[in-house]
A and B are shown apart, each in its own frame.
Chain A
């Protein structure tokens, strides 16, 4: 029987909107984590849709490590201004002042301080009881295990062995004071869904997702951008390579991929035929087996 049928993308959109409205109805002080990446761009668009013609009923929160790319900061400020959103920028200022960096501390320790601790402190300080995040289940195998409402105890910790059952679209948001949940409205989106949606909706994203010639060095099969506080090893010479970023994180820990895809159409074509996963360029994911799960249990997204 034909008619009255939503496309897959429309269905994903409706699901995300439903989740956001549910959270805003049942929580006192929600916040939306904004990482400047493509998934964040999509999530913010969905939030605007959920509450149109009204304004976003919550602020955006960027946990800034201080190691993001210049292009990201520029994009962030313009994006937020264009949509007239309330952006809060927080970070672990003490660790930053102490000069925390991945070169000396290693990526695990650096992440724990600048990202996880920065996030937990910001949530505590803002007394947020719900925080939206743009994580997707198809990104990583421990994320594939997570609920839409990811319950965190008062230390911000996740207990993957004891998650609440989550049936149909009935989300249980009951919580005690001091506890909070992370909410993942994009749980069921794949990387391709995100790109198709960006295309369909013409959502602005950081230009680093598109290929152009950039000064890069090649290290352990990864393309590392020459930017910010990066340290060249002996014999390393930056070269101009046509490349783009498949995910965006901190500049010392995010690699690029060789690519000629300089338009949305070409990027989508590239994603369709990719043989490598999205997060292969994220150095933090490969520290050791289960490293994402460990980070998450401690409070990371």
Chain B
């Protein structure tokens, strides 16, 4: 292969960051050693050193003790345990891997959290002789808390239980029971013997009952969804660069969203407005910056911006507050002291922090909540935290980069806790909505909605159909319209494309324009609802924030979000207009699903798989939903 192809292949490879965890002696280091060895990733000289070491200090008799490959510290080799994370790097023709081999001892849980914070997959090992133990649960819980979407449960040491399927099934169901309380998208089980090499790289002949693939094959093929957020523009300013009088730039790493010259930005926490003038890199100016690019931004106006500030899109702000709730992993031998002040580091901001309330502590065995007034080493709880200056943040689950923080002991300078900001609680202030001028009074109609509804013999509602282009929204909307109309309902369809011929004809497809398009559609729907009509909206509406906004405009009790879901390949097949082809060739810009993101609804009122569901059935499902919610009597 020539160097050019090699580089290209290398550029196209994706990266999987994984960690191994589980209890002491479950065989984590051995498993990685075996994985590297069997996939021929160990250099000859390292292998011969390993063979020598194994004879000298190994615990595998005459055979190779693979854990010695990873346990790089003297204290670890002497004691045969893992104390701190070891990072290993390898690559196959399909993927690059960074493995964080984490310690199993409860005492070193903080090191496990260190390894987990950057991972997108966790391999949790279980000793087949012992089954699910507390450390299995603790590590799985931390993985879930840190939003690692994929867990591989490696049921190891199967050779010591006669490769018994019964043992495997029992542990599997035990784990599944526990994991039903976690928030992990994908859990996969593999029975193995790391020591003997069963189901690591090669399919094990000792467990013919296992139909799945060995570990390496699974790691090479598992689909890892990107955790990048391209929606919410967040640019924490890290460093202010002054080059004589002519240039002042703001350096930082794009946390989320996309920055473009000309974009309006609001500087938090001050709220001052300016525009991005240009985006600089060593190579020159660029048209766009997205996560995790490290760039330098120059602004149109001379606004006061310094380290710790955050540039955001004015219509899509994070919360700015001096108080929030967070899930916190305590990492210090010194327990949490609510009387003390800590130092908080969040993005590029430092502030003083005070824990004003220990809301509860998690019981890692049950994931239940317990009352507590402090947290001790390795405990996890929900805390209310007040800070000395306002921070701009998002919930961790929505935005990792702006939703995490650490607490530092100001005396010892030690990192004592890792925190994940939780969604705002109900008793807190709602997001600040732009205020309507107080000079404009709302006129109240002498005819009430109830009177209108009574005349029409129906209750009004908005059925909001969201989904990829060509997922079937309009077809289903029209089917629903016909069906309801035939039943003497006053119903109409607001179609996104039709609106763009009229009300929204001055809008394009940038995130900003899409937001506005949706605001208009929602406002029209609201007016129609106020007249007593049933409004069916068919609109791609790709962003969760915009749909939330639409819900607010219409009113939550009248708003029904229906996700019309179809695999993108199916949408492409249906696309007789050639939109997808045009999007892929670059002819159409910012096409949802191809060059612009689609965020599936987290919690839709209804989800319809339009590939599998015929139109009448889809219509019936929506009718059932409306009947169930009292809209159709």
Contacts and interface: CB of A to CB of B under 8 A. Distances in A.
A interacts with B: yes
B6 A272 contact: yes
Given A163-B84, A268-B6, A49 B282 contact: yes
Given A21-B238, A276-B44, A293 B74 contact: yes
Contacts of B43: 274-277, 280
Contact of A54 (B86, B243, B404): B243
B73 A160 contact: yes
Contact of B73 (A14, A15, A145): A145
Contact of B98 (A9, A22, A48, A188): A188
Interface string A93-126: 0000000000000000000000000000000000
Contacts of B548: none
A174 interface: yes
Interface stretch (A33-41, A62-70, A136-144): A136-144
B7 A199 contact: yes
Contact of A6 (B73, B251, B292): B292
Q: How large is the interface on B (under 10, 10 to 19, 20 to 34, 35 or more residues)?
A: 35 or more
Given A6-B293, A160-B73, A277-B45, A169 B253 contact: yes
Which size class do A's interface residues fall under? 35 or more
A196 interface: yes
Nearest to A138: B89
Contact of A174 (B46, B69, B73, B343): B343
A137 B70 CA distance: 12
Given A142-B72, A161-B73, A161-B83, A4 B258 contact: yes
A190 B86 CA distance: 14
Given A144-B88, A170-B404, A172-B408, A50 B251 contact: yes
Given A1-B226, A49-B281, A142-B72, A168 B294 contact: no
B156 interface: no
Given A18-B253, A272-B6, A289-B53, A168 B282 contact: no
Nearest to A280: B45
A142 B243 CA distance: 40
Interface stretch (B316-324, B411-419, B527-535): B411-419
A143 B88 CA distance: 10
B360 interface: no
A188 B89 contact: yes
Residue among A8, A10, A268, A293 with most chain B CB within 10 A: A8
Contacts of B15: 8, 11
Contacts of A14: 253, 292-294
A164 B415 contact: yes
Interface string B71-115: 111110100000111111100000010100000000000110110
Contacts of B597: 1
A200 interface: yes
Nearest to A193: B89
Contacts of B331: 165
Interface string B293-322: 110100000000001000000000000000
A3 interface: yes
Nearest to B413: A174
Interface string B216-260: 000000000010101000000011011100010001110000100
A239 interface: no
Given A4-B290, A8-B96, A167-B406, A141 B86 contact: yes
B594 A2 contact: yes
A8 B238 contact: no
A170 B113 contact: no
Contact of A25 (B53, B230, B239): B239
B617 to A, nearest CB: 29
A196 B43 CA distance: 20
Contacts of B526: none
A175 interface: yes
B55 interface: no
B143 interface: no
Contact of B292 (A15, A167, A188, A280): A15
A52 interface: yes
B251 A196 contact: no
B248 to A, nearest CB: 11
B394 to A, nearest CB: 14
A287 interface: no
Given A137-B89, A176-B413, A8 B11 contact: yes
A289 B348 CA distance: 41
A24 B84 contact: no
A145 B75 CA distance: 12
A89 to B, nearest CB: 27
Contacts of B45: 276-277, 280
B53 A275 contact: no
B406 A170 contact: yes
B114 A165 contact: yes
Contacts of A268: 3, 6
B405 interface: yes
Given A164-B414, A293-B74, A3 B7 contact: no
A242 B81 CA distance: 44
B160 to A, nearest CB: 28
Query: Among B71, B253, B290, which residue has the most Cβ atoms of chain A within 10 A?
Result: B253
A144 B72 contact: yes
Contact of B87 (A144, A264, A272, A275): A144
Interface string A151-184: 0000000001101111111101011100000000
B470 interface: no
A50 B282 CA distance: 8
Given A196-B7, A199-B7, A276-B45, A52 B280 contact: yes
Given A272-B6, A277-B43, A141 B70 contact: yes
Contacts of B10: 7-9, 196
Most chain A CB neighbours (cut-off 10 Å) among B86, B247, B405, B594: B86
Contacts of A143: 72
Given A4-B230, A8-B15, A48 B418 contact: no
Contact of B13 (A4, A8, A190, A276): A8
A51 interface: yes
A293 B413 contact: no
B415 A165 contact: yes
A53 interface: yes
Given A8-B11, A50-B251, A145 B243 contact: no
A236 interface: no
Contacts of A161: 73, 75, 83-84
A269 interface: yes
Contacts of B307: 25
B4 to A, nearest CB: 9
A92 B350 CA distance: 39
Contact of B239 (A21, A168, A172): A21
A54 B242 contact: yes
A200 B87 contact: no
Contact of B3 (A52, A269, A280): A269
A172 B345 contact: yes
A290 B77 CA distance: 10
A114 to B, nearest CB: 24
B405 A18 contact: no
Nearest to A151: B413
Contacts of A24: 239
6 contacts: A3-B594, A141-B86, A174-B343, A176-B413, A268-B3, A275-B43
Top 8 A-B pairs, shortest CB-CB distance: A141-B72, A49-B282, A174-B413, A17-B294, A277-B43, A167-B117, A7-B11, A52-B282
Interface of A: 1-4, 6-11, 13-15, 17-18, 21-22, 24-25, 48-54, 137-138, 140-145, 147, 160-161, 163-170, 172, 174-176, 187-188, 190, 196, 199-200, 264-265, 268-269, 272, 274-277, 280, 289-290, 293-294
Given A167-B418, A265-B2, 14 more contacts: A4-B228, A6-B293, A8-B11, A11-B15, A15-B292, A138-B87, A142-B72, A160-B75, A164-B415, A166-B114, A167-B117, A196-B10, A269-B3, A293-B72
